[in-house]
Amino acid sequence: MTLIPENLKYSKTHEWVRVENDVAVIGITDHAQSELGDVVYLSLPEVGRILKYDEPFGEVESVKAVSELYSPLSGEVIEVNTTIIDSTEVVNEDPYGRGWLIKVRMSDPSELDKLMDADAYAKHCEGS
């Protein structure tokens, strides 16, 4: 069984969002990392890039597959977790903690309503 913390919001493309005031911390879920297996490569955006809701913003690649990352919210990238670029295994080890990917200053917090809560995401995973 994969871990789905109650306090996070989830996208159907398996990104999680943790809201800290007007900033959204974004990563991939435990389910996503488990499906991918060993993450070996991350392609992440530059600080300052403006992302739109559901726009591809990078790639996460494992030995067996590559998966596009989709922005669960619109806003400006204000921080990128560059510490994991050369130690991508952190995404597998701690996807909701040290394995976060980017922080986005939300331009439209109402988009949070489009995301799933933990229960809905758990059902979404079962169905996929």
Partner 1 sequence: MNQTLCRTPLYEAHLKQGARLIPFAGWEMPLSYKSILEEAKSVRSHAGIFDISHMGRLRIAGKGTVSILQLLTTNDIEALSVGKAHYSLLTNPQGGIKDDIIIYRTGENEFLVVVNASNTSKVIAWIESFLPQTEEELHIENITPYTAMVALQGPKAQAVLEAVLGTPDLIGLERFSHRTITFKEDETSAELLCCRTGYTGEDGFELIFSQEYAPLVWNVLLNAGATPCGLGARDTLRIEAGYPLYGHEIDESISPVEAGLMWAVKLDKGNFIGRDVILEAKRLGPKRRLMGLLMHGRALPRQGYTIYHENREVGVVTSGTFSPLREASIAMGFLNTEVARPYTKVEIEIRGQRHEATVVPKKELLQKPHAEEKS
Contacts with partner 1 by CB under 8 A lie at 37-38, 40-43, 59, 61, 63-64, 66, 85-86, 88-89, 92
Could you tell me the smallest distance in angstroms from the CB atom of residue 101 to partner 1? 15
Nearest alpha carbon to residue 9 among 88, 99, 118: 118
Instruction: For the sheet with 66-70, list strands across it.
Output: 39-43, 56-62, 66-70
CB nearer partner 1, residue 47 or residue 85? 85
Least CB distance to partner 1 at residue 61 (A)? 6
Smallest distance, partner 1 to C-beta of residue 109, A? 32
One-letter amino acid for residue 117 of the chain: D
| Of 113, 94, 107, nearest in space to 29 by CA | 94
Tell me which residue has tokens 């229960």: 119
**Euclidean distance between CA atoms 103 and 73, whole angstroms:** 11
Identify which of residues 7 and 43 has a Cβ nearer to partner 1 in the complex.
43
Q: Which is nearer to partner 1, 17 or 90 (CB)?
A: 90
Name the residue nearer to partner 1 (CB basis): 93 or 117. Answer: 93
